[in-house]
Amino acid sequence: MKTYDYGSASSIRQALSQDGAYLAGGTTLVDLMKLEVVTPTRVVDINSLPLRGIHCTPLGLRIGALERMADVAVHHEVARRWSMVSTALALSASPQLRNMASIGGNLLQRTRCDYFRDVRMPCNKRKPGSGCPAVNGDNRMHAILGTSAACVATHASDLAVALVALDASIRSQDRHGERLLKLADFYRLPGDTPSVENQLRPGELITEVIVPALDWPQTYVKVRDRTSYEFALASAAVALDVHGGVVRDARIAVGGVGTRPWRLQAVEQALRGKPATEDSYLEAAKLAVVGAQPLAGNGFKVPLVQRTIARALAGAR
């Protein structure tokens, strides 16, 4: 690990004034510092900040950015009213990592692309302009949606997929004040600048996640190489509003296939007014892969994500 200064911030104002890398659970930051993928000169421990609390109101859910994944995953009211959030969290990482990792940190976790994580390799995300070995290399785990010639890395968060489906927002602060951002707009496509992954400004801190109420049956389905403790090959967060056997409305986002959490409004639109049957789900899911650009190693994700969506829609409770 490259050396750095370390301090613990006792107030948000103090944290914002430090110009350092924020340390919450450390499951991404410490990992990447050890690999020297990130080399901050200053680390600001934010765990003493008052960014806790899980508040459920009739209008929605507010989660403090420092709440741990494990605590949100087992929260009864969250499980009852936003089950896709609890399920996505429960299917993430391992119990130890869920005990450690914060909600804000989860949304900022970096891609698991092996080229990104290996400083001996070129990577446009880590070292702009150095190239992308994944485009013609080992790309089985990589994205088919939202890719560019510069980067095909998948966004790794399960939670973010559920939150994008639920139209969640994040509250953030920097030295100039506070703002609210829709999570769907927060993540950027890689384009020519894959090193810029989101709209966060230098020193800006996520303080809270805000999720509107949605009382439709919902679920999160994650397909992976092993039963547990693995990143998604494809995942789907869905909520479905069905009356008299007909779909009135739907919310759908997918993970494991996009360079960012991928909302599928075209599929949602195609489902409205259709019978709530597996045939309708499979038919609508075809629209998920319009414009998909499979690579040599990940063509299987094209049919897989469609079936994952259909399975999730059939299983929404």
Partner 1 sequence: MAGSVSRRGFLGSAAAASVVGTVTVAPGRAWADAVPPNRIRLSVNGKAYEIDADPTVTLLDALRERFGLTGTKKGCDRGQCGACTVHVDGRRVVSCLTLAIACAGKKVVTIEGIAAGDSLHPVQQAFVDCDGFQCGFCTSGQIMSAVEVVAQGTARSDEEIREAMSGNICRCGDYPNIVDAIKQCRVDQNRGAHS
- 261 within 8 A of 255, measured Cβ to Cβ: yes
Q: How far apart are CA 42 and CA 137, in angstroms?
A: 34
Q: How far apart are CA 240 and CA 68, in angstroms?
A: 28
> In whole angstroms, how close is the CB of 154 to partner 1 at the nearest point?
18
- 148 within 8 A of 157, measured Cβ to Cβ: no
- Rule CB under 8 A: choose which of 12, 21, 26, 217 binds partner 1: 26
> In whole angstroms, how close is the CB of 101 to partner 1 at the nearest point?
9
Residue 47 lies near partner 1 (rule: CB under 8 A):
yes
Q: What is the DSSP letter of 209?
A: E
Provide the angle, in degrees to the nearest 10, between the axes of the packed helices 301-315 and 278-285: 140
> In whole angstroms, how close is the CB of 47 to partner 1 at the nearest point?
7
189 to 12, 178, 285: CA distances (angstroms): 30, 24, 22
Residue 99 lies near partner 1 (rule: CB under 8 A):
yes
Residue 6 lies near partner 1 (rule: CB under 8 A):
yes
Question: What are the beta bridge partners of residue 247?
Answer: 242
- Which segment (42-50, 118-126, 252-260, 285-293) binds partner 1 by CB under 8 A? 42-50
> In whole angstroms, how close is the CB of 193 to partner 1 at the nearest point?
28
- Which segment (88-96, 162-170, 231-239, 308-316) binds partner 1 by CB under 8 A? 88-96
Residue numbers at the binding site for partner 1 (CB under 8 A)? 1-10, 14, 18, 23, 26-27, 30-31, 33-34, 43-45, 47-48, 70, 93-97, 99-100, 227-229
